[in-house]
Amino acid sequence: MGMTLNILSPAQWLGTGALFLVVLVLALRQANWQQLKADQAIQHTLFGAAVALAVLWQIRAGLSPGLTIHIFAMTAVTLLLGWPLAVMAGLLALLMVVVTGREPWQLFAANGLITVMVPALVSHAIMGWERRRGFRNFFAYIFFCGFFGAAISVAVAGCSMVLMLWISGAYTWEDLVHEYLRYLPLIMLPEAFVNGTVVTGFMVFHPERLLTLDPHRYR
């Protein structure tokens, strides 16, 4: 987030818009709308997550456009709702941020792709890896999917943003390393802590809210 209108090239506007639409269509097709319609708890989780993300994304730091630092928290939302509904919640939150004037609406697709979709898909992929490994201890879900998943997802999203800004010519590679990449490990730590703590809290007090958790797999 934090990009200005002149920071991306026309080709990048088209490219990010096309990728955004592809992922959005996949999310719309794979989301369990019947379950969402029938279960008020899932509805409350989705809209509550959207509001929480919108408030959280208002808190950011950074001096240069596109290189702001903030907590994404998309991993926790993905584990709560599954990646399709997590994308819906994230885009709803991003819409709130746009309405408040913190982000330009013209960059909704680019911000949605980097801030919402990439972290959700990476978190989903890590969760799939954890399932394929066949771990039988619930700590594997907490640490691999919650803590490590959040750290890796924000790293991938951050590197994607850096690559986008470098290709656009907005910054030199040296500037990107100096202003963002060297701080990325420090960004990963609080991201992992926040998401892991939220996932742990739900697993202890409300495990039924974690739609991606299969309690029968763990002992």
Comparing 18-22, 70-74, 124-128, 212-216, which segment has the lowest mean pLDDT? 212-216
Binned at pLDDT 50, 70 and 90, residue 170 comes out as confident
Give residue 163's pLDDT.
93
Rounded to whole angstroms, how far apart are CA atoms 100 and 212?
32
Give residue 110's pLDDT.
93
Amino acid at 142: I
Rounded to whole angstroms, how far apart are CA atoms 162 and 41?
37
Amino acid at 154: V
- Domain architecture of the chain: domains with CATH: 10-213 (1.10.1760.20)
Q: Is 174 exposed, middle or buried (0-12, 13-18, 19+ CB in 10 A)?
A: exposed
Instruction: Let me know: does 64 contact 1? Beta carbons within 8 Å.
Output: no
pTM: 0.94
pLDDT tens digits for 137-148?
888 999 999 999
